[in-house]
């Protein structure tokens, strides 16, 4: 997704400039060609050499630096960019861009580019909530800029308020989403479920399973990065909530069913990657169950079968996690639940177990023969699944 993309990373003179070094590093690691442009004030906070070392590219800091190319630097950067991202964006740079001022290399590049522009404001709370800053942000949004809102938290001054730079993963997610806006799922809506449900026994215990949610999250992110609007319905997981999608948090199979019914009122596809419990305690104890002398028997009843019960004109894609007779069991599930496609994975395999970053899947479409794929990352597997979704949606 980010491979071979040219990302012009503008760094302005906010205290969060040091965090932009982490972003530059992560973008470069993902294969992007990162061209850093710094304002003079930013160079007072972080040395250009840091960015040069992390990106392997020279850093541009001045309008009148001799360009190695027979080109004007800000114009060539503006043309080269697949996307321009300003992290952090100071109140000053936001105001200058909103007013069309072009008195340094960064504002000139912004004015000269036709690439999408993402700004991540970060500043002291009072500067951020100041009506003039908010008006400038609103103006830029209206002009098609993507603004990542500053978050609430501890600020450099020690006070608590709005103005903090969001996590770098959130900024990465927004960059990927912006780059993929016109992808092959543009204009589509996809609902993805992820994680293992938790069926309550009492206020401190539940019946769970070993699903990590990684496959579902990878699918949601991949769909987002191909232009789809995504609703992610997730149980509690150890994963960070991805940027650029609607997220619905649930715990039990019943809660998940309610969320799926609501989300699929308007969708093109439902991908049920969550591991939904088949059974739940008949009643959840209101108080913690105390240890007694003997054993404990729990009466279990069936949970709703979401994929079988859900109605609507959208693609239904299920997952079959099996430990034996993988393909036969998956095919049975495909027919029994009237699915359009099923993704079978052998959870007894050593190299693609729950929690792993990799998966070895077999895709089976209605009327199609099984398509067995080699071991790959869950993100790559997600894209293979979505390749099939794109074809089915045509
Ligand atoms: C230590 C220090 C930290 C600063 N942090 C911020 C900040 O987080 N956000 C902001 O908008 N301005 C901040 N400023 C003020 C800007 O540096 C100042 O407005 C400057 O003119 C911005 O220039 P630029 O937008 O061209 O980079 C800070 C200034 C100093 C001295």
As a three-state string, the secondary structure of the chain is CCCCCEEEEEECCCCCHHHHHHHHHHHHHCCCEEEEEECHHHHHHCCHHHHHHHHCCCCECCCCCCCCCCCCHHHHHHHHCCEEEEEEECHHHHHHHHHCCCCCHHHHHHHHCCCCEEEEECCCHHHHHCHHHHHHHHHHHHCCCEECCCEEEECCCCCEEEEECCCHHHHHHHHHHHHCCCCCCCCCEEEEEECECCEEEECCEEECCCCCCHHHHHHHHHHHCCCCEEEEEECCCCCCCCCCCEEEECCCHHHHHHHHHHHHHHCCEEEECCECCCEEECCCCCCCCCCCCCCCCCCEEECCCHHHHCCCCCEEEEEEEECCCHHHHHHHHHHHCCCCEEEEEECCCHHHCCCCCEECEEEEECCCCCEECCCEEHHHHHHHHHHHHHHHHC
Q: How far is CA 269 from the centre of its chain?
A: 18
Residue nearest to atom 19 of ligand 1 (CA): 92
pTM: 0.90
Atom of ligand 1 nearest to the CA of 96: 25
CATH number given to 6-179: 3.40.50.1950
Task: Give nearest CA residue, ligand 1 atom 9.
Answer: 123
Known catalytic residue: 136? no
Instruction: Return the pLDDT at 134.
Output: 98
Q: Which CATH number is correct for 189-393, 3.40.50.10300, 1.10.10.10, 3.40.718.10, 3.30.560.10?
A: 3.40.50.10300
Q: What is the residue-level pLDDT of the chain in tens, covering all 394 positions?
A: 899 999 999 999 999 999 999 999 999 999 999 999 999 999 999 999 999 999 999 999 988 876 665 567 778 899 999 999 999 999 999 999 999 999 999 999 999 999 999 999 999 999 999 999 999 999 999 999 999 999 999 999 899 999 999 999 999 999 999 999 999 999 999 999 999 999 999 999 999 999 999 999 999 999 999 999 999 999 999 999 999 999 999 999 999 999 999 999 999 999 999 999 999 999 999 999 999 889 999 999 999 999 999 999 999 999 998 888 889 999 999 999 999 999 998 887 776 667 788 889 999 998 888 999 999 999 999 999 999 999 999 9
Q: Domain ranges in the chain?
A: 6-179, 189-393
Same fold, 6-179 and 189-393: yes
172 C-alpha to ligand 1 centroid (Å): 23
88 prior amide bond cis, ω within 30: yes
How far is the C-alpha of 153 from the C-alpha of 74, rounded, in Å?
35
Set 209, 329, 358, 388: catalytic member:
209
pLDDT at position 197 is 98
- 14, 109, 132, 153: residue to mutate for ligand 1 pocket, most atoms within 8 A of CB: 14
**Atom number of ligand 1 nearest to Cα 90:** 11
Output the CA 53–ligand 1 centroid distance in Å.
Answer: 24
Question: Among the atoms of ligand 1, which is closest to the Cα of residue 92?
Answer: 25
- Which residue CA neighbors atom 16 of ligand 1 most closely? 13
| Mutation pick for ligand 1 pocket among 36, 41, 42 (CB with most ligand atoms within 8 Å) | 41
Ligand 1 pocket (Cβ < 6 Å) reads 12-16, 39, 41-42, 90-93, 122-123, 127
pLDDT in the model for residue 351 = 67
């Amino acid at each position: 997704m980010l491979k071979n993309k040219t990302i012009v990373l503008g760094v302005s003179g906010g205290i969060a400039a040091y965090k932009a070094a982490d972003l530059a590093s992560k973008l470069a690691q993902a294969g992007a060609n990162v061209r850093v442009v710094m304002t003079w004030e930013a160079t007072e906070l972080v040395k250009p050499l840091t960015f040069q070392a992390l990106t392997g590219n020279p850093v541009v800091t001045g309008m009148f630096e001799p360009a190695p190319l027979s080109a004007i630097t800000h114009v060539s950067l503006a043309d080269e960019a697949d996307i321009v991202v300003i992290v952090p964006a100071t109140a000053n740079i936001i105001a200058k861009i909103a007013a069309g001022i072009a008195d340094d290399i960064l504002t000139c590049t912004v004015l000269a580019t036709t690439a999408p522009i993402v700004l991540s404001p970060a500043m002291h709370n009072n500067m951020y909530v100041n009506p003039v800053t908010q008006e400038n942000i609103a103006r830029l949004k209206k002009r098609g800029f993507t603004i990542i809102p500053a978050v609430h938290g501890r600020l450099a001054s020690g006070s608590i308020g709005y103005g903090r730079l969001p996590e770098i993963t959130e900024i990465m997610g927004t960059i990927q989403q912006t780059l993929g806006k016109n992808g092959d799922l543009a204009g589509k809506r996809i609902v993805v479920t992820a994680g293992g449900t938790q069926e309550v026994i009492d206020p401190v215990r539940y019946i769970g399973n070993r699903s990590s949610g990684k496959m579902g999250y990878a699918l949601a992110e991949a769909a987002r990065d191909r232009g789809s609007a995504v609703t992610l319905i997730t149980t509690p997981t150890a994963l960070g909530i991805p940027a650029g999608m609607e997220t619905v948090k649930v715990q039990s199979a019943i809660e998940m069913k309610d969320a799926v019914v609501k989300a699929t009122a308007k969708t093109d596809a439902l991908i049920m990657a969550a591991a939904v419990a088949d059974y739940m305690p008949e009643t959840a104890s209101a108080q913690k169950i105390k240890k007694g002398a003997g054993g404990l028997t729990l009466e279990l009843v069936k949970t709703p079968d979401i994929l079988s019960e859900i109605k609507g004109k959208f693609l239904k894609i299920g997952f079959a996690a099996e430990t034996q007779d993988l393909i036969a069991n998956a095919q049975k599930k495909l027919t029994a639940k009237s699915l359009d496609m099923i993704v079978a994975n052998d959870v007894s395999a050593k190299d693609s177990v729950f929690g792993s970053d990799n998966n070895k899947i077999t895709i089976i479409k209605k009327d199609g023969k099984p398509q067995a794929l080699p071991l790959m990352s869950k993100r790559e597997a997600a894209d293979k699944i979505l390749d099939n979704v794109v074809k089915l949606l045509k």
